[in-house]
Amino acid sequence: MIRAPEIRVIDEDKNQLGIMPVHQALALARDKGLDLVEIAPQANPPVCRIMDYGKFLYELHKKEHEAKKHQKQIQIKEIKFRPKISIHDYNFKLKHVRRFIEEGNKVKITIMIRGRERAHPEMARQIMDRVLADVADIARQDGEIKAHDWAHTVLIVPTKTGGKDAKTKNQQSSQKAVQDNSQQKGAAQKSQQEPHSD
Note whether 6-54 and 76-184 share their fold: no
What pLDDT is attached to residue 147? 84
Residues 6+ apart with CB under 8 A from 60: none
CB-based contact 138:158 (threshold 8 Å): yes
Which residue ranges make up each domain of the chain?
6-54, 76-184
pLDDT at 161: 46
Q: What CATH number does the domain located at 76-184 have? A: 3.30.110.10
Does the domain at residues 6-54 carry the CATH identifier 3.40.50.720? no
Q: Tens of pLDDT along 5-52? A: 899 999 988 899 999 999 999 999 999 999 998 888 888 899 999 999
Given this model, what pLDDT does residue 188 score? Answer: 47
pLDDT digits (tens, 9 = 90+) for 52-64: 988 888 988 888 8
Letter string b/e over residues 29-52, b meaning 16 or more CB atoms within 10 A of that residue's CB? beeeebbbbbeeeeeeebbbbbbe
